[in-house]
Structure 1
Amino acid sequence: MSGFKTYLSFVKPYWKLVVITVLIGMIKFGIPLTLPLILKYVVDDLLLSSLPAEVKVQKLIYVMLFAFALFVIVRAPIEYLRQYFAQLTTSRILYDLRNRLYDHIQKLSIRYYHNHKTGEIISRMINDADNTKNIVETGMMNVWLDLFTLSIAMGFMFYMDVELTLVAIAVFPFYALSVKKLYSKLRAFSKSRSQALADMQAHLFERVNGISVIKSFTLEDVEKDNFDKKNLLFLQKALALTKWNALTNAIINTLTDIAPLLVLFYGGYQVIQGGITLGAFVAFFAYLDRLYSPLRRLVNSSTELTQASASLERVIELLNEPYDIVDSPAAKSVQEVKGKIDFEHVSFRYDNSADWVLNDIRLNIRPGETIALVGMSGGGKSSLISLIPRFYDIQQGRILLDDVDLKDISIKSLRSQIGMVLQDNILFSGSVRENILFGKPGASEKEIIHAARAANAHDFILNLPNGYDTEIGERGVKLSGGQKQRIAIARVFLKDPRILVLDEATSALDLESEHLIQEALEQLAKDRTTLIVAHRLSTITHADQIVLIEHGEIKEKGTHEELMKKEGAYARLFNVQNLNETVKTDSF
């Protein structure tokens, strides 16, 4: 019920449109209810009357002109308006719902995305959100219109013959019993099908993104079988829902067919006995269709609403997903920062049941300093830098920026002061210019070019087919690794942050690209507090502090010269790397 109340908050701004659509629908569905009355008049008052033939024809022409005017001239625009307003209302509500969902998922923490598949999130935003429109179109519009049609038809039928009407509605209790029994499982089947679809989409999303891996390992046949399993599971869930729907329709249609047979028998008997006129019997039989058509639609509406409620449940589950990282009530915005960062006895783990990733970290970084974090993979370097923009919150200790606890700084203003260049930077489909503008939306062309020059990217951009307007493809697939990295650096130049985070930004690149990027990064790091996660120690010997992290703890700390004099773990690691590089150079 709480989920339905949440959904009503999206409907509330459009309640006038809903009412207008229902009122127009009442006219649309009310017009066909006049046809049996016209039929009764034609049979009893014209065809079976003793009026002269000329008079009958004249009156028949008048009746038909009225009928044509009502059903052709009046009903056509009414039908158009009803459809238009119904679609307008549901489309606007879906627009608002998807906007809210998108805004919501942007506020979810990195941890949430690590624990949920992208394809499933997309499925809830697209498929499940789209299915919820039946709650409005069917539940708030069509159901009331069908009840209106049903009530008017029954009113006319009771007016014409009470006994015959009671015969016509004798199967109503069986309808109610069928709906109660059959629809109890429909919700579970609908939700199960939606989950299977989401799983298949999540699998497909991952495989499309990793198609180069599949091809390089010639796993096409294996992956075809894997997708077949997901597709088969969805087929099974879909067929289970289809079977239940088919069973429901079979029972409902059978009950619907019983009513006309009962009316045909009893009504025919009444005509023979003189209880009702032939015209009244024909009109009554015509109203029978007006009675059971909306009733059948109401039953189908139950199916649609059950499936829509299952989708709504999945949408609300996503909307109710709590935010791990939020501003504290006392959080304030920061406009300018010096870049002083202090880690005070910081301990961190990704999950309360997991082991500590960082343990009792104590580190003081002065404004404008360059700090290099080194050590073996898995030691906690990347985890440490992810705490500065509050991608995760720590469990113990404090992190201070300019002597202010990070939790007392608004997340948006904190992250606006931080620029990040990663090993695998994400570029988006679109032009080079659009990707650089991520650093500062609305920047001028002069600022964009200045940032690109600073990143050693301007020259290669001009050599692209359309320069800054060149489309780079999804994740920048049309660019080399070095080109992507320089565009990523350009957007950080454009952002102009006070704090710079470099996470193995030059690894896995050729020597020429590495030289250009290293040059750009040195320019970028000037007068900024810079944290560098580096695998190649020869690139960070200039750092003001080098911090060796192993198993989540700081083992050594100092300048390159100081650590080399200690002849500890850092010196051994540096010497091993130098020896390996010398061997590689000599081999060439």
Structure 2
Amino acid sequence: MSILAGFLHYYKPYRRLFYIDMACAIIVSAIDLVFPQVLNYLTKNLLIAQTREFIAIIGYVGAGMMLLYGVRYACQYYITTWGHVMGARMESDMRQDLFDHLQRLSFSYYDKNNTGEMMSKLVSDLFDISELAHHGPENIFISCLKLIGSFILLLMINIPMTLILFSIAVSMTIFSYYKNKRMKILFLENRKRIATVNALVQDSLAGIRVIKSFANEEIEQKKFRRGNLEFLESKESVYKIMGSFYAGNGLLEGLLYVVVLVSGGYFIGKGQLEATDLAVYALYIAIFINPLDVLLNFTEQFQKGYAGFKRFAEVLQTQPEIVDKEAATPLTNVKGGIEYRQVSFAYEGNNDVLNQVDFTVEAGKTIALVGPSGGGKTTICSLLPRFYDVTAGMILIEGQDVRDLTITSLRNAIGIVQQDVYLFAGSIRDNIAYGRPDATEEEVIAAAQKANIHDFIASLEEGYDTYVGERGIRLSGGQKQRVAIARVFLKNPPILILDEATSALDNESERHIQAALEELAKQRTTIIIAHRLSTIRHADEIIVINDGQIQECGNHQTLLAQNGLYAKYYNMQFDGLEIID
């Protein structure tokens, strides 16, 4: 019922369209039921009339029928056109709701779900739902009207024949019910399999350069072939059950005609039925069977739409883990004081990544996090803007627990430049302005100049309007990194997180950017993750993270004097051995 209620919710904005659609469906059904009655009237009354009188009346009857079919045309046009428009608008609303909800979900959801599967829910699933939204009520409504109407009229012609007919229709219903239960399971499985195929395609196309660099096209082809064959097997199972479903119902429909032929002949022979009544009865049999066919064909559409909407509803029912508290307050007048107090954290189902981490960053100071890969440095930074919430302990900004602050105000106060730079498909200007969408052209250019990327952009034929390609593929690694840094310059936040921010730059560019970052960091609280230890020698404090705990802390000279882990790494780099981090 919750799935049905969720589905019906999307009809509310389009109630007027829906009601007119249903009214048109009533008119279409009524007109279809009228024709056999007109034929019955003509055969029983007018054929015995005088020729002149018959010709005059048949003209009026023909004109009346043409008028009715003109009305039917208008109603059918509305059903086909505006019924589909209603379904398309509902599909659009669902897609927007799903996309909006995906934007609200926390990082943990994306850690567990594949992009290709999410795309499948946004595109193919919603198309099937749209078709169900339009054709579902219409097909059910028209078919039920025709079934009930034709059944009543058949009873008026001959009750015994109609009761026999009804018993066969009940047998078809029972048969369809049991086949549908099996089809529902198979269609849901089919949706999962096509989502897997979409995931494989997305993963392979996104990593096409890695695939080709390793000459692993054959491996990817085998992976896709396996997923594709599993989807094919799923579809074959669906078509086998559909084959028995439609063939079985076709057999029962044929039985209907046989019963009408045999029983009709019997009752005519007994004098209980006229030959003209049998002709009219046969016309109503066609009207009676047509909606049965529609309902049977609708079964496939319903199962696809139901499976799609169930998957859609499952996403909407997924609650984001990171949300504002009811009494959350905005973060204002940020100076940048940060405190990690007894912070522990573990990803779902894993051991602790951080274990009772304690440190304080005074406003305007710069700290650097160093240590071996997997020690927890990036996790420490991810907890500050609440990409994840601490398992134990607390993180405070200006003495306020970050969980008591509104997420928007918290993240607006923090600028992040990551090692894995992401640029959106669009212009260079769009990507820099993403840091502050209302920025002026002059502000965008100023940010680019500070990031040492303006001269390069100005040298391009289209300048700031240059298209960067998907994930910025048309720019080099260093150029992408500097665009990302310009984005943060434009945002101008009081707190900075630089996660390997200069790792993709050549030495000359690094010197320029390092100077710019040092300028930007003045009077701002800055947390730097770096494996090039030469870039963080001037940090106010360096914290060495190892196995989720703070192993050493102090400034550059202090840590060298301790001759511990930091000194070991620094000396290795000084000797020309780069630490992979």
TM-score when normalising by structure 1: 0.94
| Equivalent residue for 1:201, pick from 191, 195, 198 | 198
Shift of 1:224: 1.2
C-alpha distance in 1 between matches for 2:118 and 2:292: 37
C-alpha distance in 1 between matches for 2:554 and 2:133: 65
C-alpha distance in 2 between matches for 1:244 and 1:236: 13
Alignment of 1:475-554 (within 5 A): 475-554=471-550
Q: Is the Cα contact below 8 Å between 1:370 and 1:544 reproduced in 2?
A: yes
Shift of 1:70: 2.2
C-alpha distance in 2 between matches for 1:101 and 1:511: 45
C-alpha distance in 1 between matches for 2:250 and 2:148: 21
Mean Cα deviation higher: 138-147 or 341-350: 138-147
Report the residue type matching 2:61 in the other structure.
V
| Equivalent residue for 1:301, pick from 286, 289, 298 | 298
Report the residue type matching 1:30 in the other structure.
A
Alignment of 1:385-464 (within 5 A): 385-464=381-460
Shift of 1:269: 4.1
C-alpha distance in 1 between matches for 2:262 and 2:45: 24
Shift of 1:553: 1.1
Instruction: Report the counterpart of residue 14 of structure 1 in structure 2.
Output: 14
Instruction: Report the counterpart of residue 217 of structure 1 in structure 2.
Output: 214
- Aligned Cα RMSD in Å? 1.9
Q: Is the Cα contact below 8 Å between 1:43 and 1:278 reproduced in 2?
A: no
Instruction: Report the counterpart of residue 50 of structure 2 in structure 1.
Output: 51
C-alpha distance in 2 between matches for 1:321 and 1:501: 30
Instruction: Report the counterpart of residue 176 of structure 1 in structure 2.
Output: 173
Q: Is the Cα contact below 8 Å between 2:91 and 2:130 reproduced in 1?
A: yes
C-alpha distance in 1 between matches for 2:33 and 2:351: 72
Report the residue type matching 1:70 in the other structure.
L
| Equivalent residue for 1:191, pick from 180, 188, 192 | 188
Alignment of 1:553-568 (within 5 A): 553-568=549-564
Q: Deviations over 1:468-492 (max 9, x none)?
A: 1111111011111111111111111
| Equivalent residue for 1:68, pick from 58, 66, 69 | 66
Report the residue type matching 1:440 in the other structure.
R
| Equivalent residue for 1:354, pick from 350, 354, 374 | 350
Shift of 1:135: 4.6
Q: Is the Cα contact below 8 Å between 2:447 and 2:486 reproduced in 1?
A: yes
How many residues are paired up?
A: 578
Matched, 1:132 2:129: yes
Shift of 1:50: 5.3
Q: Is the Cα contact below 8 Å between 2:24 and 2:79 reproduced in 1?
A: yes
Matched, 1:114 2:111: yes
C-alpha distance in 2 between matches for 1:145 and 1:136: 15
Q: Is the Cα contact below 8 Å between 2:478 and 2:504 reproduced in 1?
A: no
Shift of 1:410: 0.9
- Structure 1 gaps of 5+ residues are 583-588
Q: Deviations over 1:334-385 (max 9, x none)?
A: 133110000111111112x422111111111011111111111111111111
- Give the fraction of aligned pairs with identical amino acids, expressed as a percent: 38
Q: Deviations over 1:510-541 (max 9, x none)?
A: 22332333233223322211111001000111
Q: Which 4+ residue blocks in structure 1 deviate beyond 6 angstroms? A: none
Instruction: Report the counterpart of residue 324 of structure 2 in structure 1.
Output: 327
Shift of 1:273: 5.2
Q: Is the Cα contact below 8 Å between 1:375 and 1:549 reproduced in 2?
A: yes
| Equivalent residue for 1:372, pick from 355, 368, 371 | 368
Alignment of 1:280-291 (within 5 A): 280-291=277-288
C-alpha distance in 2 between matches for 1:161 and 1:218: 76
C-alpha distance in 2 between matches for 1:572 and 1:10: 63
C-alpha distance in 2 between matches for 1:580 and 1:466: 41
C-alpha distance in 2 between matches for 1:391 and 1:215: 34
C-alpha distance in 1 between matches for 2:260 and 2:483: 78
Shift of 1:247: 0.8
Q: Is the Cα contact below 8 Å between 1:456 and 1:516 reproduced in 2?
A: yes
Shift of 1:456: 1.5
Instruction: Report the counterpart of residue 246 of structure 1 in structure 2.
Output: 243
Instruction: Report the counterpart of residue 92 of structure 1 in structure 2.
Output: 89
Q: Is the Cα contact below 8 Å between 1:119 and 1:198 reproduced in 2?
A: yes
Shift of 1:435: 1.3
Q: Is the Cα contact below 8 Å between 2:448 and 2:486 reproduced in 1?
A: yes
C-alpha distance in 1 between matches for 2:438 and 2:50: 83
Report the residue type matching 2:48 in the other structure.
S
Instruction: Report the counterpart of residue 262 of structure 1 in structure 2.
Output: 259
Report the residue type matching 1:246 in the other structure.
G
C-alpha distance in 1 between matches for 2:577 and 2:257: 91
Q: Cα distance 1:370–1:254, how it changes in 2: closer, same or farther (>3 A)? A: same
Q: Is the Cα contact below 8 Å between 2:25 and 2:141 reproduced in 1?
A: no
Report the residue type matching 1:61 in the other structure.
G
TM-score when normalising by structure 2: 0.95
Instruction: Report the counterpart of residue 586 of structure 1 in structure 2.
Output: none
- Structure 2 gaps of 5+ residues are none
Shift of 1:42: 4.0
Instruction: Report the counterpart of residue 585 of structure 1 in structure 2.
Output: none
Shift of 1:164: 3.1
Instruction: Report the counterpart of residue 35 of structure 1 in structure 2.
Output: 35
